[in-house]
Chains A and B, each alone.
Chain A
Amino acid sequence: MPPASITKIMTLLLGFEALEKELVQWDDEVIISEKAWRMEGSKMFLLVGGKVKFSEIMTGISVVSANDGCVALAEHLYGSEEAFVQVMNNRAKELGLTNSNFLNSNGLPAEGHVMSARDISTLARYLIQNHPKILELESTREYTYNNIRQFNRNPLLGVFPGADGLKTGWTDEAGYCIVGTAQQNGQRMIGVVLKTNSEKERSKAIQELLNYGFKNFKQVTVKNAGEIVDVIDVKNSKTPSIPLKVDSDISVVIPVGRENDLQIVTSKNTEFLSAPVSADIQAGTLEVQLDGKTIATSTMSTAEGAERLGFFGIIFRSISNFFKSLF
């Protein structure tokens, strides 16, 4: 679907990544082209030939959805908006955005310029997790540039508890769109609403969507990295079995009240290991299931090593096992 100005979260991501790679600095001066100056729709009113700090451009795009700022940023980073768009599409592929195609840097109407709601949520999550400064910019309520004071159009700011982003959009074709985010009690939700009929509908829909998440779902830490979850037999070892640990933290989000319905299923790659075995050898998988459906997985590894028995030890263990099997 046409994403309108929500496109700008990709433009801002590339801005942050250029800063990270030191291709540009916050204080660098960006020269404004005639093309940037001529942009229509929402803008920060850049002046042709003017020199503007990169930080001002990033803020203008974030707070007032500056179409002129997007073109200025694109030209500054990659020479032309066309080259920048190529980078946008390459980055989209790298991030697994399979239903996105960009034709410009700001989301102004163009046949074939599209994003799906799922792609928008994936991109928004990536941007927030890797460049949290975006929330500082996007939650700024007003911005003045060139003596023109403008306000952030995000209807969640100052209204919805914990809201701090992210981006609104509107064109005739796209309708009223928003990707909204809020954090409550340490839990962050990201909602996307595309093509509503009015600002009022958009505002109501995104608030209800986020409320639905906060009221009905809860994050549960199932296991912490390093926690012992199983054991595995070891042949020809001084210790007949060693513990298996889970390799990563496992958190899941489940409907409120379903904590006791979670099931943990472990499966080992092999029935036993043969000594010597070192620690941290991957030995299986742990799955967290709800209603038979796997909702999280992690690998399991040996928590400790196991030394091989000596020659006489193996003989003694074999004789011992033989007699045990008789009774």
Chain B
Amino acid sequence: MYNFKGFRSLAALAAITFIVMVFQVTSFAQFESTAESAILIEAATGQVLYEKMQTYQCRLPA
């Protein structure tokens, strides 16, 4: 006999995991998709941990 109850529980767990993963990916991508330029540094060392470069050049005077 198949254990349908166990199968259903597993399927439900997989679905929840999938939804959580999709939500996390969407959430994580927010700062990448919405900001035209962004950077994250650690203050003590000044190390750059993330950088999205601007999409156009600065117009500096010659």
Q: Which A residues have a C-beta under 8 Å from some C-beta of B?
A: 1, 99, 101, 111-112, 114, 116-118, 120-122, 125, 128-129, 175, 181, 187-197, 201-202, 204-206, 208-210, 212-213, 216-217, 219, 251-253, 295-296
Q: How far is the CB of A4 from chain B (nearest CB, A)?
A: 13
Q: Verify if B46 is at the interface (C-beta below 8 Å from A).
A: yes
How long is the Cα–Cα vector from A121 to B38 in the complex, in angstroms?
Answer: 10
| Additional A-B contact list (18), CB under 8 Å, known A129-B43, A209-B50, A251-B44 | A99-B58, A111-B59, A114-B58, A117-B39, A121-B41, A187-B43, A189-B43, A190-B40, A191-B39, A193-B31, A201-B35, A202-B34, A208-B31, A209-B31, A209-B40, A212-B31, A252-B45, A295-B47
Q: For residue B49, which residues in chain A have a CB less than 8 angstroms away from its CB?
A: 189, 212-213, 216-217, 253
Give the residue of B28, B45, B47 whose beta carbon is less than 8 angstroms from that of A212: B28
Give the residue of B35, B37, B47 whose beta carbon is less than 8 angstroms from that of A253: B47
How long is the Cα–Cα vector from A32 to B47 in the complex, in angstroms?
Answer: 41
Docked-complex contact B34 and A192, CB < 8 angstroms:
no
Docked-complex contact A205 and B34, CB < 8 angstroms:
yes
Q: How far is the CB of A10 from chain B (nearest CB, A)?
A: 15
Q: How far is the CB of B57 from chain A (nearest CB, A)?
A: 9
How long is the Cα–Cα vector from A1 to B36 in the complex, in angstroms?
Answer: 9
Asked if A1 meets B58 with Cβ closer than 8 Å, knowing A121-B39, A213-B50, the reply is yes
Q: For residue A189, which residues in chain B have a CB less than 8 angstroms away from its CB?
A: 40-43, 49
Docked-complex contact A99 and B40, CB < 8 angstroms:
no
Q: For residue B44, which residues in chain A have a CB less than 8 angstroms away from its CB?
A: 187-188, 219, 251, 253
Q: Which B residues have a C-beta under 8 Å from some C-beta of A?
A: 27-28, 30-31, 34-52, 54, 56, 58-61
Q: How far is the CB of B19 from chain A (nearest CB, A)?
A: 19
Docked-complex contact B60 and A204, CB < 8 angstroms:
no
Docked-complex contact A196 and B43, CB < 8 angstroms:
no
Asked if A117 meets B51 with Cβ closer than 8 Å, knowing A125-B41, A204-B30, the reply is yes
Q: How far is the CB of A248 from chain B (nearest CB, A)?
A: 12
Q: How far is the CB of A179 from chain B (nearest CB, A)?
A: 9
How long is the Cα–Cα vector from A253 to B40 in the complex, in angstroms?
Answer: 12
Residue among B30, B41, B56 having the largest count of chain A Cβ atoms under 10 Å: B41
How long is the Cα–Cα vector from A203 to B37 in the complex, in angstroms?
Answer: 15
10 contacts between A and B (CB under 8 A): A112-B59, A114-B58, A117-B37, A121-B39, A121-B41, A191-B39, A194-B37, A209-B31, A219-B45, A251-B44
Residue among B27, B35, B36 having the largest count of chain A Cβ atoms under 10 Å: B35
How long is the Cα–Cα vector from A189 to B45 in the complex, in angstroms?
Answer: 10
Q: For residue A111, which residues in chain B have a CB less than 8 angstroms away from its CB?
A: 59
Q: For residue B50, which residues in chain A have a CB less than 8 angstroms away from its CB?
A: 209, 212-213
Docked-complex contact A125 and B38, CB < 8 angstroms:
no
Q: How far is the CB of A1 from chain B (nearest CB, A)?
A: 5
Docked-complex contact A197 and B34, CB < 8 angstroms:
yes
How long is the Cα–Cα vector from A129 to B42 in the complex, in angstroms?
Answer: 12
Docked-complex contact B47 and A118, CB < 8 angstroms:
no
Asked if A195 meets B30 with Cβ closer than 8 Å, knowing A101-B58, A189-B43, the reply is no
Q: How far is the CB of A234 from chain B (nearest CB, A)?
A: 34
Chain A to chain B: the 6 pairs with minimum beta-carbon distance, closest first = A195-B36, A188-B43, A205-B31, A194-B37, A253-B42, A117-B39
How long is the Cα–Cα vector from A206 to B52 in the complex, in angstroms?
Answer: 13
Q: For residue B56, which residues in chain A have a CB less than 8 angstroms away from its CB?
A: 1
Q: How far is the CB of A39 from chain B (nearest CB, A)?
A: 24
Residue in chain A with minimal CB distance to B33? A205
